[in-house]
């Protein structure tokens, strides 16, 4: 399992990221030179599903274990829900989310943890890209045991940077460490911290359709 990063978003002539189209679920945008201060998304994204096995790359090669939610599993037996500032909600798909790194809160075994999540295909691993989009969540709190097959809920709140293919392993690891630092700082800010007790995040699967109201 790996938190890795590939480039699938458009750039403006000045080099900044363009706003993702309305048809893409997150409508996330952030200046590429300001990754330390990700903006709160206009629509937050709730993912809920069963943790699946990955490829062992995160813990074995990088030292950053992740919990994986696959697009196909979310579509068949999970939840992908977009929630706007008015409290409205609509169904989405993991494929529709802009690929990249997100700041998030994660709920596992009844406890909420700070997290950083990569949504994408892990393109840095040559000839070993994920066959489908995967949400790879690294929980910033230490977790002692594996949690394959357990329910994981993720609330994606801020977009840090696009997924991209790095020229080498060292560059990939450095970017991941920076993403972890960025997420840890962002989640201490009031606008992000307020979502730690979000009703939809705290609900078990059957109650996950409660509305979220953005500040």
Q: Give the pair of three-digit tokens for residue 119.
A: 């949504």
d(CA 122, CA 130): 6
How many other C-beta atoms are found inside a 10 Å radius of the C-beta of residue 22?
9
For the question of residue 136 being annotated catalytic, the response is yes
Give the bridge partners for 154, in sequence order.
47, 106
Among candidate residues 136, 151, 171, 191, the one labeled active-site is 136
> What is the C-alpha separation between 130 and 125, in angstroms, rounded?
9
Extended strands (E) in 6-123: 40-50, 67-70, 79-83, 89-91, 100-108, 111-120
Residues 6 or more apart in contact with residue 95 via CB below 8 angstroms: 71, 132, 133
- Which are the catalytic amino acids? 136
């Amino acid at each position: 399992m790996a938190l890795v990063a590939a480039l699938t978003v458009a750039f403006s002539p000045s080099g900044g990221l363009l706003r993702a189209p309305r048809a893409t679920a997150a409508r996330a945008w952030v200046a590429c030179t300001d990754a330390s201060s990700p903006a709160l998304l206009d629509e937050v994204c709730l993912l809920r599903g069963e943790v699946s096995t990955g490829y062992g790359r995160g813990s074995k090669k990088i030292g950053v274990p992740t919990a994986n939610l696959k697009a196909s599993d979310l579509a068949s037996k999970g939840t992908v829900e977009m929630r706007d500032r008015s409290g409205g909600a609509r169904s989405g798909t993991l494929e529709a989310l802009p690929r990249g790194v997100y700041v998030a809160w994660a709920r596992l075994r009844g406890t909420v943890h700070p997290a950083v999540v990569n949504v994408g295909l892990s393109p840095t691993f040559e000839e070993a890209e994920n066959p489908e989009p995967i949400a790879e969540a690294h929980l910033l709190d230490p977790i002692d045991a594996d949690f394959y097959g357990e329910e994981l809920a993720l609330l994606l709140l801020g977009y840090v940077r696009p997924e991209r293919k790095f020229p080498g392993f060292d560059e990939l690891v450095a970017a991941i460490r920076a993403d972890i630092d960025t997420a840890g700082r962002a989640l201490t800010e009031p606008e992000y911290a307020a979502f730690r007790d979000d009703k939809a995040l705290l609900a078990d699967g059957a109650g996950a359709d409660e509305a979220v109201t953005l500040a």
